[in-house]
């Protein structure tokens, strides 16, 4: 699986954030469901073909922990940031998004609406 590093051009991240790049329907449907934990420096980036509120919505079925959800438009600008609680089944962005970053809840304050994000490929080991 492709892995990328997330960089925030508007504010420094407390620690590096590496995410698995997820573009297939099956990968996006599964997301982080059924995992018992998520390391602080890891997450998931789900990519859609185009910006949409519905297609970039997430579900929390099968989640054992809460998440930070960061929605990005096609220009990799943050359009919404919200906590996702494991007991809440569905969450959609306030504006259309093309990319969704899921990471640990404590990383939520590292991102704000309007931040410019950069994604850098991490070479396979």
3-state SS of the chain is CCEEEEEECCCCCCCCEEEEEECCHHHHHHCCCCCCCCCCCEEEEEEEEEEECCCCCEECCCCCCCEEEEEECCCCEEEEEEEECCCCCEECCCCCEEEEEEEEHHHHHHCCCCCEEEEEECCCC
Q: CA–CA separation, 56 vs 48, rounded Å?
A: 7
In this prediction, residue 97 carries a pLDDT of 98
Q: What is the CATH number of the domain that holds 112?
A: 2.60.120.1140
CA distances in angstroms from 100 to 60, 79, 124, 125, listed in the order given? 14, 10, 22, 25
pTM of the model: 0.93
The distance in angstroms from the start CA to the end CA of the chain is 12
The domain in which residue 33 lies consists of 3-121
Q: What percent of the chain has pLDDT over 70?
A: 99
In this prediction, residue 121 carries a pLDDT of 93
In this prediction, residue 111 carries a pLDDT of 98
User: Mean pLDDT across the stretch 81-88?
Assistant: 91
Domain count, the chain: 1
In this prediction, residue 38 carries a pLDDT of 87
Residue 6 has pLDDT above 80, yes or no: yes
pLDDT digits (tens, 9 = 90+) for 25-72: 878 877 777 778 888 899 999 999 999 999 999 988 888 899 999 999
Mean pLDDT of the chain: 92
């Amino acid at each position: 699986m492709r892995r990328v590093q997330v960089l925030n051009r508007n504010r420094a991240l407390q620690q590096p954030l590496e995410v698995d790049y997820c573009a297939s329907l099956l990968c996006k449907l599964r997301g982080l469901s059924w995992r018992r934990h998520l390391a602080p420096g890891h997450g998931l980036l789900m990519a859609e073909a185009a910006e949409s509120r519905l297609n970039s919505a997430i579900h929390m079925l099968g989640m054992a922990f809460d998440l930070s959800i960061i929605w990005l438009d096609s220009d990799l600008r943050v359009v919404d940031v919200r906590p996702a609680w494991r007991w809440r089944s569905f969450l959609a962005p306030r504006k259309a998004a093309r990319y969704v970053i899921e990471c640990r809840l404590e990383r939520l304050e590292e991102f704000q609406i309007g931040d410019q994000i950069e994604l850098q490929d991490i070479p396979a080991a």
